[in-house]
Structure 1
């Protein structure tokens, strides 16, 4: 019985030697200087045409190891892999047991520890290979060196100038009394071309004429004409003193007449409609003087 067991063990051992795959690894040095090239070798013998699965090229060793080269050679009965590496940090670093799949079986390599040392001494004198040379640069050389910085600075200055100009003048131009006056005169001219006076459409005529005027008063005089009722607007103009007496009177008369027309309490003739159109137009033309006078008062 004992001899039978011994025979079985020997038979298994011999089969592993004769028919099993032998995985071996080797590390050139366990102590390396900073940046020194080391070698890690991986070899599988008696491969018998089986497939070998390991980490991809340049990814077998841990991240501390900078791979210089990773060459793989595979034949029907032999697998050989040589990895050259460097380490640029002092200390002890481990290469763990690496798992390799051979056919349907997994085998592991033995682990290693690598000590990386700095061979430079504190008092070592570092000599330059050659003395520094002084080079004289002209304007062209300085331009080539700094042209991108100069161009970037000019672009930044240009953007700043445009922003300042827009803030200082761009917004003011839209609120300029003369520009608002011209825009309202164009709106009035478009109203005239609708021929409401000739067709006798007096109600729609006064609705649009008063809407144009309200919008103008809001922008030119900065008064809430768009939200105030006619009586409230007249009181506001009289108490605020923003608008001249002549313009105030024109607005009061035309707005009150417009309310009567809208509520069918009066029917204007074409002459009255023309006079009201001219009255609003002249008020718009006179308005910049009111704005200038208000600005002088606020400065004093």
Structure 2
């Protein structure tokens, strides 16, 4: 019991001694803590780098936003590396740089200015698996010009394939049938009305041309005149119509070439109206007694008429008169000799 009592008194004495020393040395401990805090603020990191992604688990082909934020003191020079070939399996689709901006930060003793620059990258990959975005090394230098480095740290991203649905199959599916187009009354109306309209327009044009031909050539067919005299009479009738003065040059040449063609048909008793210029030229040279020089003159005349009728060629008035004289000359050269 005595040993126990003496031991308890000794332990109590030690506690009293420790309490005295702590109370006596408390101001010194406070000063030491203050100096440590001040030193910690002074040694506060001058450059901070933070790298993040908006999602760590994506499907193949998805876009990921990869962001690097750099904070540093105003007097620090920072050199940011090019990331084009430093992203492993990822490729950069787009990027944007925000800043540099100046922000105020509160430290234990005062406010500090920091320069903040944010680098945003849109990256993607088309390979499945677990990939790491490598660390980016940022080089910086302070007032003393000494170069230092800081790293952003690597980030792990999981890339999955497109998840199959219940409708997906392992085998190749057959081609889907064509999608039908809804057919209402308007479809059938156009299907019937438009062809009828086109047919009616064609018939109307043919009747109009036939009527014009009848009005010009119909009456004089009944006259018992030789082909050349009838052709002369028609040429005079054409000139008296005043088509040139009215600006109807194409209509004038249509009738002019028709007069010559009808004359040749009556003169040589051959079908002329349905033949082209080249066909008529070859036929007259081979199967008639028409002189070759006269055939060449006829071909040049009909080709001139074709230019006006089909190629929208508008000759001058003197050329029109010359072509009319050529028509008379062809009739003069080919009419039967008395």
Q: Which TM-score band (shorter chain)?
A: 0.3 to 0.5
TM-score (norm 2): 0.32
TM-score (norm 1): 0.36
